[in-house]
Structure 1
Amino acid sequence: MSTSTGEEGFCIYCGHAMDGHTKANLSKCKRCKKRVLVCQVTVHDSGAGWRICHVPCRCGEKHFPSTAKAARHLEPTEFASSHPDYQSPEEAGDPEASYEQTTAFPDSSAIAMPEAESSRSTANQQTAHSSHRRTYSAESVDQLQWDSARLAEETVVAGMTSLAIDDATAEADIVKVKARYTKEGKVQFTTVSGQTIRTPGDYWIATDKGYEFEYEGILYFAKEIKRAKK
């Protein structure tokens, strides 16, 4: 869906250009017809990461336009710094802000280091490419971060067998996980061995059954991605 509205200026809530928000005629509350302001700039994942900047009524989410149903509310750290509801990560008391390390990619995306590995991992510039589903080779991901032998072991422990989801993943092993957004919009999930891993939200692909993230032939599946804890 195109995010170009032709509007000038910047949103007082998120600070992004109004041209990157949903068009007014596509964002009206189905009950009162007031505009629900939804930001769709490219830093947000269109599958689950669009942000609801402002809801002008109390009609309830069941009356939201479709553009708002695919979005989540702004976190305190996501408001424009000039907005009274803005909080810095330190003010918001985010425990992840103090120790999270990331691996940098050319598109400025990043995969967070697993918590057990973060103290001995360093950020390395890598090359990644995307298709219908994002996959990463052993050369494109820090091996301290993603150990394929460890991930394969997770699959065995989970007792999952090969499952054909579509032609692109017919040979992939499926590992079911529980996932949740962090306050920074990343997706955090825990493996069966108890290890916590964080990835950018746009690495997860929305399907009719849930959300998927594939790496080295292993497909991580979450039935839902819960909202960040407040």
Structure 2
Amino acid sequence: MSTSSGRSKVCSRCDHALNEHAKTNESKCKKCKRVFDICQAGYHGYEGAAPRGWRICKVPCGCGERYYPDKARGARPLQPHEYATGHPGYRPLEGFADSSSYIADTTDPGTTPAHEPTYVDLSVNGDWLEFNNLNGELISTTRDHWQATTILYQGVPTPCFQLDDDTGHSYYTWSLDLDDAQETTEQYPSERSQGKQPEQAHRRTFSEESEDPLQWSEERFEAETRGLNSEMERLAVSGESSQQAEENLDSTGGEHEPVSARMNRKGMVEFTVKSGKKKGEEGRSSKGKWKPEGRGFVYRRSDGRTFYAKEIKPAKK
């Protein structure tokens, strides 16, 4: 079977010729039709350090493994030592001499991850930022999961965004603003050599000074909101029904669509419209978009619609 793709130049990720990669028409996502880079060379990285076989150099989208092209199903994601030595994701294996190094900019040794961070390319899937971890699993994150930090890249302190998972592994990427994930890594080395800094993205930092209201317990929520809703108390004393009170509350911030909302296991809020013409419609958003208002939470979507949830239930166990 021929492996020639007919493309010239060299892959910036695995350092093999693009002519050794799968053909474009055989490498498209079955859903969005964006093109994977699948290297069909027999070896990658240090000889004998990893199983021989094909490698996925780039996953261009976040549609999921069920939509992978057939040629990608038998391939493995590139491991850190299999990247080209000039690629930001490259990491040498222990026991092999190499001049590359990584130093995290941190003043607290206790915060240093158990493993050196691995560079990843992010792809956008709705509100998700997705990447493949070291085991080849597709990981879905939100912007809030990534923290701004600094690394020494080619000897220069360089801003980046870092994520630490619950297994002790850490990943980093240059930017969270992805207009076109296909161009991010390919353009970045030349931009970095010219001293261009990646654009800083908006984020929320979780700390003792900045807590996430969506993670409050019911007791904490009651304590924090007690006394803030005099209108509801007045209505209760005057004998008005709770339904009337809720209608008045909804009207205070504009016409909200009432929804039932619940966190999922990936940290996103899933909601269902409870009434009106859109009753039964489902949606999903990052939890940071829901803002405390009155005795509930409000999400103002970019299309102009506003949703109101009396509570956001915790994820099911």
Same fold (TM over 0.5): no
The structure whose RCO (Cα within 8 Å, separation 6+) is larger is: 1
Q: Normalization by structure 1: what TM-score?
A: 0.37
Max Rg structure = 2
